[in-house]
Amino acid sequence: MDPAEQGRRADELAHSVIGPVVLGGPIHPCRPFGGPESLALGVERRIDDTELRNRLDVARVRQARLLAPVDALPDLDQWDWALFATLNDLLQVTNHELAGPFTRGRYARLLSNVTWAVERIPAPADLERALERHATFARVFELCRTDSKVSWWTGSMSFRGEPPSKRLMLWPELRRVNVDARRVPLSEMPAGVAGLSIDQFLDVLGLWLTRSPLTDLATLTRRAPSFAWSASTLSLIATPVGRALAFRAVSRVPGRPAIDALNGAAARIPEGYEEAKRLAVGFASTVEKGLRERGELPAEKGPESLRRPKSLEQQAPARALPSTVLPPAEEVEVEAEG
């Protein structure tokens, strides 16, 4: 792709996907990028629209300050752009108009391209990037699609992610027009797409989430895909500052579902990964203890030594993310949104 066309597509992605994901508002997915173009799109790139860039910076810092006392974040890097491009393509996988009866293989090919690209996107290199990436993608599970079914006295018609035709809404009382609108969460969007199973989509979405470990942890009580420990989330909790950030992210969701999700994910770690299991079990124990001390869970009875494994502070870290770029964790006062 020539530089001018690539720049045009990047600008389209910035306004149609990046802005709405971070700031809120309707998303209009772009034409699919494909694997190689997703990785190349953000190389040495910056959002040209100064007003949009400034609004994104303010929103991302506000999101980051829920977890750490920061006043600025790095600009979007190549891999942030790649994650937005692959998210765009994931949304296009749920587009029932992407293919016809004789081209249904497009869905599987596009999903395969997304998998190929996401596998080549590295996890954050340090805690500053982990915080920046979470501040950028924290709202991803707020994405939803509004589907509508319009019925009238002689028939009905369904619409996926688009408003009903104005023609169908004429003379509503005379024609007995009824509109049944339903909000479809991200994890359910591929339902009804021919040639594609929801499990296939969720596997790729789960892989995409591992590229933002703080976001993965902050949304661990989601219905699907189920939270599972990955190399990136384990690396995050293997340092004191990373563990503090992870605790803050987890503590913002309901206590008991969060503990259940952490314990379930630890139980699913395969045999032979003892260090990973030890980190996971220890973090779940630390979170549970912290929530009990804050009064968000009922206190347990019985000797402490009989009900908890050793704390994470007593365990050796494994493949920890560098933490020197962030200040020590401390309580942060966050300005409430108006």
Q: Are residues 201 and 240 in the same domain?
A: yes
Listed residues 126, 156, 187: the one ending a domain: 187
DSSP state of 318: -
Contact by Cβ (8 Å): 323, 126: yes
151 belongs to a structural domain: yes
Number of folded domains in the chain?
2
137 belongs to a structural domain: yes
Contact by Cβ (8 Å): 256, 281: no
Residues contacting 296, CB < 8 A, separation 6+: 251, 255
219 belongs to a structural domain: yes
Q: Are residues 38 and 98 in the same domain?
A: yes
- Cα separation of 83 and 176, whole Å? 45
Bridge-partner residues for 160, per DSSP? 147
Tokens coding 283: 């973090």
User: Residue 289 CB: number of other CB atoms within 10 A?
Assistant: 16
Q: Are residues 220 and 309 in the same domain?
A: yes
Q: Would you state the pLDDT for residue 37? A: 97
Q: Are residues 74 and 183 in the same domain?
A: no
Q: Are residues 172 and 257 in the same domain?
A: no
Q: Would you state the pLDDT for residue 96? A: 83
Classified as helix, coil or strand, 167 is helix
325 belongs to a structural domain: no
95 belongs to a structural domain: yes
Tens-level pLDDT at each residue, the chain (338 residues):
789 999 999 999 999 999 999 999 999 999 999 999 999 999 999 999 999 999 999 999 999 999 999 999 999 999 999 999 999 999 999 998 886 665 667 899 999 999 999 999 999 999 999 999 999 999 999 999 998 888 888 888 888 888 888 888 888 888 888 888 999 999 999 998 888 899 999 999 999 999 999 999 999 999 999 999 999 999 999 999 999 999 999 999 988 999 999 999 999 999 999 999 999 999 999 999 999 988 877 766 544 433 443 333 333 333 455 433 333 333 322 233 33
Q: Would you state the pLDDT for residue 299? A: 67
Bridge-partner residues for 182, per DSSP? 147
Q: Are residues 96 and 162 in the same domain?
A: no
User: Residue 108 CB: number of other CB atoms within 10 A?
Assistant: 14
Tokens coding 52: 């949009």
Q: Are residues 84 and 156 in the same domain?
A: no
Lay out the sheet containing 144-152: strands in order across. 155-160, 144-152, 178-185
Domain of residue 183, residue span: 145-187
| Exposure of 151 in the CB half-sphere (CA atoms within 13 A) | 4
Classified as helix, coil or strand, 287 is helix
Q: Are residues 154 and 290 in the same domain?
A: no
Q: Would you state the pLDDT for residue 224? A: 96
Q: Are residues 248 and 208 in the same domain?
A: yes
- Cα separation of 10 and 260, whole Å? 40
Tokens coding 208: 């995409």
Q: Are residues 133 and 246 in the same domain?
A: yes
Q: Are residues 35 and 181 in the same domain?
A: no
338 belongs to a structural domain: no
Q: Are residues 127 and 71 in the same domain?
A: yes
